[in-house]
Structure 1
Amino acid sequence: MAAIDLLKVMRKIGFLSPKGFMRFIVSVGRDGINIMLLLTMAALVYGNKTALIAGGESLTYSQLKRRSETLAYGLSETFGLGKGAKTAFLCRNHAVMIQALFAASRTGSSLYLLNPDMSQRQFDALAAEHAFDLLIYDAEFQSLVHGSPYGKKTLVSRHPDLLSAEGLAKEERKGSARLKRASASRIVLLTGGTTGKPKEAVHRPSLFHYLNPFSELMAKLELQKRGAAYIATPIFHGYGIAILLTMLALGKKVVIAERFDAATACTLVHRHAVDVITVVPVMIGKMLEGGPEKLETLKCIASGGAVLNPRLAKGVADSLGDVLFNLYGTSEAGLNLIAGPQDLANNPATVGKSIRGTQMAVLENGMAKKPGEIGQLCVRNSWSMNNRKSGWIQTGDLGWRDGKGFYYLAGRTDDLIISGGVNIYPAEIEQALLAHPSIKDAAVVGVPEERYGAIVKAFIQKTEGSTLDQRAVVEWLRPMLATYQLPRSVEFVSELPYTDIGKLNRKILKGTGQRKEVDQG
C-alpha cells in the first residue's frame, strides 16, 4: 500500500513523467536518499521556475540545486563531511542556510537545527554533548560561538572577507570527481525552548515515512493549486522545515525573510502575490492589524505552533474569508491534526481531527480519559522521531476530545496550576479573557503562594483607550468560570512576551509574577 501511495504522490507532483521515474531511480542509486534528492528531482521537473526569494535575491530550482550541490562538494573537500558526520546550524531564515541544509545532507551528514536565541550556557552544553563536526553559523552569533569551549570546525554562513558557505556555493568547480552515495543523513530537531535542556527529535528523510502527512497537506490545504508560499516561521523549527520541503517538492515559489516583521510580511505577500502562508497565531494577528487589503491574495493560512485564539479565527474569516487552517503537530511527532475553515466556523477553538495514519489518545497516568475530560495528548504514527523510547509519544500538551473526534488544547503540562489541590488549566481562563472586547491579549500563570501552593495571576494587554481594571476583569469572568479559576491578581502590560517562534514565553511571566508588586490598573 505504501508503494502505491508513493507512486500516486509522485504522479501528482510531476515526478512520474515518461522520463521522470527512471531519473528518480538513477538518482537514488547514484546519490542515495537524502533531502538533496528532493531538490534534484524538483530541479528536473521545475527547472527555470522560481524556487526561492530571500533577501532580494531570486533563485530558480536549477540555480538552487546547482549552488547546493557545489556547496556539498565544498563541505566534503574542505571540511571532510561525509557519512556519520554531524553538522549543526545556527542560522536565521535565508537562502544560504537552505542551500547548506541540502548540501550537508548530500554528504551524508546529519543535520542539527539549533535555536538561534539559545543562551551561552545552553549552546556550550549542546556543543559538548553532541561534538558537532561542523558548525555553520550566522555572523551575528560570532560572540556566542567564540565564547564557547567548542573547538571543532566552524563556517560562517555569509561574510564579505572570510571563507563562507555562500562563497563555497558560488565557486566554479574544476574536475569531474563525484560525491559518494549517501543515505544515512538524519534531521535532528532540538526541542524544549531557549533556557532548559533541549530534547532530541531525530527524523530520517524517508519518502515512505512522510506520505500520510504530505498527502493530507496536499489534499486538505489544496497546496497543488497554490503558486507562492511565504514561510514566516523559523526554518530551524520542525514546522518551518517541514513546510519548506513540502513547498519545494510541489514546485512552489517560496518566500522567506530572516526575521518576522508584520509590515515586511504584508509587503512580501502583496509584492509576490503569495497565496499560502505558514504562521503561528500571533503573526497573522499582527498582519491583520496592518490591513486585510494587503493580504487579499491569500487563499490558505496555515496556522500552527501555538494555541489559536477563537476570536482571531473569527477575525480572519470575517476579513479574508474561509482561508484559515489550524494545524497541530510537534517536533517529536510531526503533523497529526488539521482543522479546516468549516471546522473552525463550527468551533474556532478546535485543532481538528487526526489525519490518516495517526493514533491520538488523551491519557492520564496511562489511563484513557473519556470525551470531554482533560489529559495529556499522546501520539503514535510512523513518521514520529526515530529515537522515541516507546510507541506512544507524550506531547506535553494537555487537551481533550469531543464526541465527534475533534480535539482541543488546554495548555502545556508544565503550565498546569495546582491551587489548593485543584487543577487549573490556563487556556480555559485565557479564552474567557480574550472574549472581552477590551482585551487584546492575555496570559495566565501560577504564582507561588504559601497557603494554596499557587494562585492564578493574569497578564492583560488592553485595547487602545480601554479603562478596564482588575475588578471589571474578575466580574467579566465570574459567570464563565469556577470561583477557584478567578485570578487573584491582575497585571496590565503594554504587550506580552513571545519567542521568535511565536510562542508565549510564560517563563518570563512567571519570573515577573514572582516580584512583590502592587497590582496595576
Structure 2
Amino acid sequence: MIKSILALYKTQLLTFKGIGYLFTSIRLVGMNLMALLYIRQRLCPEQIAISQEGVCINYRTLYCQSQHLAMQLALHCGIKPHQKVAIMANNHAILVHTLFAVARLGADIYLLNTELSAAQVNDISNNVKFDCVIYDPDVTALPPIKNSLPTYHESQTSVYSLLTALPLAHQTKIKVTHFAKVTVLTSGTTGRFKMAGRSSKAQNFMRPFLQLLVKLKLSHYKKIYIATPIYHGFGIATLCMSVLLGATMFLTRRFEAKKSCQLIVDNQIEVVTLVPLMLNRMLTYSVDQLKSLSCIITGGAPITAMLVKQTLDQLGKVLFNLYGTSEAGVCMIATPDDLAIKPTTIGRPLKGLCAKLVAKEDKKELYIKCAWSTLGNRWVATGDLADKDAEGFYYLKGRVDDMIVSGGENVYPFELEQHLLSHLEIKDTAVISVPDTEFGQRLVAFVVLVPNSKLTETVLLGWLKSQIARYQMPKKINIIDQLPMTKIGKVDRKRLTQLYLSC
C-alpha cells in the first residue's frame, strides 16, 4: 500500500492538486476517458502528450483540440450519449483525438480491427447496430451505415477538417455524461471473434493499474512507445496508462522493426509495449538501438524461452511478460526475475484476482475471477489451456479451440510448437491445421532457423519421431525466413495457410 501511495504521489495524482482536479473533472466532463485527459492537462499542460513523425502535441493542446472536436462531431455527425460509434483506425494522433472526443460526448466506443473482412464487419454491424463509423481512408471493409466519417480526406469532411475548423460561433454546451463503454474486438484475425466492453468506472482499471505502477516502476518513466495497435486491448490500455502517468506517447501508424528501432534510439524511449513477435524482429534488427529501454512489456501471445533469454542477456532485466483477458484486462505479471528462472511463465495472479484450472478432457482450462471483470466477480473461462507449478506460477499451453481431431486422436498445435522450439537450431515456429483425406485433419509446421543453420525438413522430421507421438507428427515442415505478422503483431495464420496451399 505504501509503495502504491508513493508511486501515485510521484505521478502527481495523489496530491492536493491532483485530487482537486479529479473532482473538477467529474463536474466538467464526467467520468470517462476525457476526465483522465482533463486531470493530466491541468497537472502538466506543457508536457508532450503525443509524438508522431516529428510532430508533437502537449497535454493542454490535446485536451483543447479534443473538446473542440467533440463539439464538431456533435454538430456534423449528431453523436449523442449512449450511441454506438465504431472506430477503425491505426495508431496516429487523429485517432487519439477521436477517442477522447467521442468519450466526451458520452457515446460507447467500439474499436474494430482494420484488417477485418467485409463479412466479419457486416456480422458485427448487424449485431451491434452502429450509429456512426469513423475510419481511416485505407480501410475498405466498413459497416453498411450512412453516418460515416473518414479520419482524413483531401476534399470531403473528415475528422482532420473538423479538428482544424474554426471554433463554432455559437458553441453548444456538451452534456456531462458518465461511464461510457470502450469495447474492443478480440480474435478477429482467426475468424472467431467476440466483443469485450469495459466501462470507464474507476474500479475497472485502478486496482490493476496500481499493481502495474508498482511492479513495473512505471512512475519512473516519461517516454512510452505504443507499438501495438490502439484498437487492441493491450494498446488502448497503454494509452490510458500513459495519460495517467503524464508520459509522452510515441506512435507509428504501422509497426516496422527498422523504423521502431530508430524511433527508440533517436528519442531515448524508456518503455515499449508490444507482442513477442515484434520484440523478436526488433532484437534481430538492432540490439544496440534498444539500449535506452528500461521496461519492455510483452503480452497478447505466448513468448518463447529463447526470446526471453536473448532479451535478458542482451538488454538486462527489463522484460515483463503480462497475461490478460478481454473481460478482466491484466491478470498476471511475470517480472524479469521470474523470467530468468521460469522463462515461459505468465507469472502469478494479481492481488484481488483468483485463478483456477478446470479439467477439459486431457488438458486444463484457465478460469479467472475478479471484482474488476466486465462479467462481475464470477468465474470466467478464458479459453486458454494452462498449467501451474508448485510455486503458483502459470504457463500457457495453447487454446481450447485450437484442438483438432486427427485420426481419432486429440491433437494440439501448441504442443508441437513447444517440441519444435526445444531444438537448439529453431528460433521460432508456428503450427496450423489443414484438412486431410485420410486423417480428417493434420498439422503443418512452419519454422524459422537460427542463423547459419543447415537443418532440413527431412532431418527435422527424423528428430521429431523420437520426441512425440505418431499422431502428433506434422504432415509437412516448411522452413521460412520469418513468420508473417498481422497488424497487432501476432502470427498471421491465415497467411501461413495460404503459403501451404500455394506450395
Report deviation, 1:452.
Answer: 4.2
* Per-residue CA distance 1:148-181 (angstroms, 9 max, x = gap): 6x23311111223222212222333244542111
One-letter amino acid matched to 1:171: A
The equivalent of 1:154 in structure 2 is 148
Report deviation, 1:204.
Answer: 0.3
Q: Report matched runs for 1:292-331 at 5 Å.
A: 292-331=287-326
One-letter amino acid matched to 1:167: S
RMSD: 2.5
Report deviation, 1:140.
Answer: 1.0
Q: Which residue, out of 380, 390, 403, partners 1:393?
A: 380
Residue 218 in structure 1 maps to residue 218 in structure 2: no
Tell me the SS of whatever aligns to 1:140. Answer: coil
Q: Which residue, out of 410, 430, 433, partners 1:443?
A: 430
The equivalent of 2:127 in structure 1 is 129
Tell me the SS of whatever aligns to 2:490. Answer: coil
Gaps of 5+ in 2: none
Report deviation, 1:189.
Answer: 1.1
Taking a change above 3 Å as real, the CA distance of residues 159 and 6 of structure 1, as seen in their structure-2 partners, is farther
The equivalent of 1:370 in structure 2 is none
One-letter amino acid matched to 1:15: L
The equivalent of 1:231 in structure 2 is 226
Q: Which residue, out of 473, 492, 515, partners 2:460?
A: 473
Tell me the SS of whatever aligns to 1:352. Answer: strand
Q: Is the 8 A contact 1:239 1:331 kept in 2?
A: no
TM-score (norm 2): 0.93
* Per-residue CA distance 1:282-314 (angstroms, 9 max, x = gap): 111111112211011001100001110110000
Name whichever of 28-37 and 127-136 sits farther off: 127-136
The equivalent of 2:164 in structure 1 is 170
The equivalent of 2:84 in structure 1 is 86
The equivalent of 1:501 in structure 2 is 488
Q: Which residue, out of 173, 181, 188, partners 1:186?
A: 181
The equivalent of 1:377 in structure 2 is 366
One-letter amino acid matched to 1:456: L
The equivalent of 1:48 in structure 2 is 46
Taking a change above 3 Å as real, the CA distance of residues 447 and 151 of structure 1, as seen in their structure-2 partners, is closer
Report deviation, 1:499.
Answer: 1.6
Aligned residues: 502
Q: Which residue, out of 115, 132, 141, partners 1:144?
A: 141
Q: Is the 8 A contact 1:70 1:170 kept in 2?
A: no
Tell me the SS of whatever aligns to 1:455. Answer: strand
Q: Which residue, out of 51, 74, 77, partners 2:75?
A: 77
Q: Report matched runs for 1:81-120 at 5 Å.
A: 81-120=79-118
Tell me the SS of whatever aligns to 2:189. Answer: coil
Report deviation, 1:87.
Answer: 1.1
Rounded Cα–Cα distance in structure 2 between residues aligned with 1:274 and 1:392: 39
Rounded Cα–Cα distance in structure 1 between residues aligned with 2:42 and 2:238: 21
* Per-residue CA distance 1:61-105 (angstroms, 9 max, x = gap): 111111111111111122221211111101000000011000000
Tell me the SS of whatever aligns to 2:204. Answer: coil
Taking a change above 3 Å as real, the CA distance of residues 285 and 195 of structure 1, as seen in their structure-2 partners, is closer
Q: Report matched runs for 1:240-259 at 5 Å.
A: 240-259=235-254
Q: Which residue, out of 26, 29, 52, partners 1:28?
A: 26
Tell me the SS of whatever aligns to 1:440. Answer: strand
Q: Is the 8 A contact 1:118 1:195 kept in 2?
A: no
Rounded Cα–Cα distance in structure 2 between residues aligned with 1:94 and 1:323: 27
* Per-residue CA distance 1:41-63 (angstroms, 9 max, x = gap): 01011110111112321011111
Q: Which residue, out of 404, 421, 435, partners 1:434?
A: 421
* Per-residue CA distance 1:460-515 (angstroms, 9 max, x = gap): 233454331223213433554445434343222343332211122334445655x4
Q: Is the 8 A contact 1:409 1:427 kept in 2?
A: no
Rounded Cα–Cα distance in structure 2 between residues aligned with 1:339 and 1:475: 35
Q: Is the 8 A contact 1:380 1:391 kept in 2?
A: yes
One-letter amino acid matched to 2:395: Y
Report deviation, 1:16.
Answer: 3.6
Rounded Cα–Cα distance in structure 1 between residues aligned with 2:172 and 2:502: 67
Rounded Cα–Cα distance in structure 2 between residues aligned with 1:14 and 1:498: 39
* Per-residue CA distance 1:350-370 (angstroms, 9 max, x = gap): 1111111211121135x9xxx
The equivalent of 2:56 in structure 1 is 58
Report deviation, 1:226.
Answer: 1.1
Gaps of 5+ in 1: 368-372
The equivalent of 2:390 in structure 1 is 403
Tell me the SS of whatever aligns to 2:196. Answer: strand
Name whichever of 33-42 and 460-469 sits farther off: 460-469
Rounded Cα–Cα distance in structure 1 between residues aligned with 2:458 and 2:328: 43
Tell me the SS of whatever aligns to 1:471. Answer: helix
One-letter amino acid matched to 1:154: S
Report deviation, 1:190.
Answer: 1.7
Rounded Cα–Cα distance in structure 2 between residues aligned with 1:9 and 1:265: 29
Taking a change above 3 Å as real, the CA distance of residues 5 and 21 of structure 1, as seen in their structure-2 partners, is farther
Taking a change above 3 Å as real, the CA distance of residues 212 and 60 of structure 1, as seen in their structure-2 partners, is same
The equivalent of 1:414 in structure 2 is 401
Rounded Cα–Cα distance in structure 2 between residues aligned with 1:391 and 1:12: 34
One-letter amino acid matched to 1:226: Y
Rounded Cα–Cα distance in structure 2 between residues aligned with 1:190 and 1:282: 20
Taking a change above 3 Å as real, the CA distance of residues 339 and 58 of structure 1, as seen in their structure-2 partners, is same
The equivalent of 2:265 in structure 1 is 270
Rounded Cα–Cα distance in structure 2 between residues aligned with 1:11 and 1:207: 18
Rounded Cα–Cα distance in structure 2 between residues aligned with 1:10 and 1:347: 30
Q: Is the 8 A contact 2:7 2:219 kept in 1?
A: no
Report deviation, 1:185.
Answer: 1.2
Rounded Cα–Cα distance in structure 2 between residues aligned with 1:430 and 1:478: 14
Rounded Cα–Cα distance in structure 2 between residues aligned with 1:101 and 1:456: 42
Taking a change above 3 Å as real, the CA distance of residues 219 and 7 of structure 1, as seen in their structure-2 partners, is closer
Q: Which residue, out of 198, 211, 214, partners 1:203?
A: 198
Rounded Cα–Cα distance in structure 2 between residues aligned with 1:313 and 1:377: 23
Q: Is the 8 A contact 1:190 1:198 kept in 2?
A: yes
Rounded Cα–Cα distance in structure 2 between residues aligned with 1:94 and 1:340: 30
Q: Is the 8 A contact 1:417 1:445 kept in 2?
A: no
